[in-house]
Amino acid sequence: MQETDFDVLTIGNAIVDVLARVDEQFIAREKLVKGSMNLIDEARAEELYAHMGPAREVSGGSAGNTAAGVASFGGRAAYFGKVKQDQLGEIYRHDMKAQGVHFATPAAGDGPATARSFILVTPDSERTMNTYLGACVNLTTADIDEKVVKAARVTYMEGYLYDRPEAKEAFRAAATIARGARRLTSITLSDSFCVERHRDDFLDLIRNRIDIVFANETEIKSLYQTQNFDGAMQAIRRDCPVAVLTRSEKGSVIVRGPDTVEVPAHPVTQVVDVTGAGDLYAAGFLFGFTREMPLARCAQLGSLAAAEVISHIGARPEVNLAVHAKAAGLL
């Protein structure tokens, strides 16, 4: 084993979440699809914000949440993502560093503002995301710090990055560096609509450059265009060394070569906001995986972290996950 500085490097869209509770009528009136992630432009962002109720701001972004989760478990985490030099950008950087995540991607000096996602939480605790990518569009291969990629056991990236050609190139460059250094690469499929937009690219990527894929049930079905979960599971088994498939309250399934490991969901007293569930599952799993724990334990850590984050508003852990996992007998 070479020397390593980071357990997990994550790369993604650096986004401040703007969270508000809304009723079902609001979702209908704004013609939104509940549970989806929509990309919106600046004009729509302003319009939607004007229609929304009072909100709170919490740093988010899928891969950013995962890095925060890894650090909360006590893992060594790094993050690449693009903010602007503005107040929300400062908040984003603060929250990362304060969580102990290495985050040195330079902020953009001009161009669009730091990204935000209007996350509308309905009474059923489901979240509907409306993301204005803002400064994220400036993430390019120039932001892929080769030293950090080489120093990380796993480089984990959001499928969302594929929505911008420059970010997609950055993603591919990072994967190439990681594999060249005999490091592991990982992707989350992010969202079923994102899979729709990039199915062929994702399949090609997974078959050729990815060691660990994360997907929820809808995403993996969308990838293989099937309604049959078992069929999709067998397909990903052939396509990728490790696949981590999450199924909400049905728990998760890990497939690695001939092995299949099923783990139930961690119990939750009250689901308040499902934002970040997948991101924190990935954090727990990758923390365990980079510490060479058995797959079942990795999945349990993922479930524990997901259960914590859905028990409150916001997609970042509110407790120290290492302490929490120890109390649950998992560490």
Q: Which residues lie near a second copy (CB under 8 A)?
A: 21, 49-50, 52-59, 68, 86-88, 91, 94-96, 98-99, 113-114, 314, 316, 318
Q: Nearest-CA neighbor of 324 among 263, 289, 61, 306?
A: 306
Give, as one character, the DSSP assignment of residue 241. S
Least separation in angstroms between CB 196 and a second copy: 32
Q: How many beta carbons lie within 10 A of that of residue 90, not counting itself? A: 14
Least separation in angstroms between CB 270 and a second copy: 12
Least separation in angstroms between CB 124 and a second copy: 16
Nearer to a second copy, 126 or 166 (CB): 126
Least separation in angstroms between CB 19 and a second copy: 9
Distance of CA 160 to the CA centre of its chain: 9
- Listed in sequence order, the residues at least 6 apart from 82 whose beta carbon sits closer than 8 Å to its beta carbon are 13, 14, 105, 107, 108, 135, 136, 137, 138, 139, 143
Least separation in angstroms between CB 138 and a second copy: 18
Nearer to a second copy, 99 or 252 (CB): 99
Q: How far is CA 28 from CA 128, 146, 280, 324, in A?
A: 12, 45, 29, 38
Q: Are 61 and 12 in contact (CB under 8 A)?
A: yes
Q: How many beta carbons lie within 10 A of that of residue 276, not counting itself? A: 31
d(CA 186, CA 166): 19
d(CA 236, CA 243): 7
Q: Nearest-CA neighbor of 152 among 75, 61, 254?
A: 75
Nearer to a second copy, 88 or 325 (CB): 88
Nearer to a second copy, 15 or 254 (CB): 15
Least separation in angstroms between CB 71 and a second copy: 10
Nearer to a second copy, 159 or 314 (CB): 314
Helical H segments across 83-164, by residue range? 87-98, 146-150
Residues in the chain: 331
Q: Nearest-CA neighbor of 222 among 238, 246, 198?
A: 198
Nearer to a second copy, 278 or 314 (CB): 314
Nearer to a second copy, 65 or 252 (CB): 65
Nearer to a second copy, 101 or 223 (CB): 101
Least separation in angstroms between CB 91 and a second copy: 6
Least separation in angstroms between CB 262 and a second copy: 33
